[in-house]
Amino acid sequence: MIPGVKRACLKCGVLTLHGSWCAECLAKAERIRSRKRGTRHYTGDYRKRAAAVRANAVECWICHEGARPGDPWTADHLFPGDPASALLAAHRSCNSARGDRPADQM
């Protein structure tokens, strides 16, 4: 695309500098995408995989310590937001401290 030249949004036809979609349509698409991401976590075999990870947990992948009283195991996504991501055992406190940071930004 040529900078400074307005084009019609492919979705709604509004003239935009943003490329093929206007800012509003882009934001709408992003909202739909993130909603799907949120629910897909818990469909399919996620629960089964998470239960297996917790049952077999030996070491927390974040702090590398073993089981801690009062800090139950959770199944953490190696790549948060990716339903197909590997699940790793983590203490509940470590998991929540990590939040949604990608594994390469730890």
User: Which contiguous run of DSSP H or E holds residue 23?
Assistant: helix 23-40
The residue (of 85 and 93) whose beta carbon lies closer to Zn ion is: 93
The residue (of 77 and 91) whose beta carbon lies closer to Zn ion is: 91
Q: What is the DSSP letter of 106?
A: -
Nearest approach, Cβ of residue 101 and Zn ion (Å) = 14
- 57 lies in the binding site for Zn ion (CB under 5 A): no
Chosen residue from 60, 75, 87, 88 binding Zn ion by CB under 5 A: 60
- 8 lies in the binding site for Zn ion (CB under 5 A): no
- 94 lies in the binding site for Zn ion (CB under 5 A): yes
19-48 positions binding Zn ion, by CB under 5 A: 22, 25
How many residues sit in the footprint of Zn ion (CB under 5 A)?
A: 11
Q: How far is CA 44 from CA 2, 38, 40, 50, 52, in A?
A: 44, 13, 8, 11, 14
Inter-residue contact 69 to 86 (CB < 8 Å): no
Inter-residue contact 57 to 73 (CB < 8 Å): yes
Helix-, strand-, coil-residue percentages of the chain, each rounded to 5: 35, 15, 50
Interface residues with Zn ion (CB under 5 A) are: 9, 11-12, 14, 22, 25, 60, 62-63, 91, 94
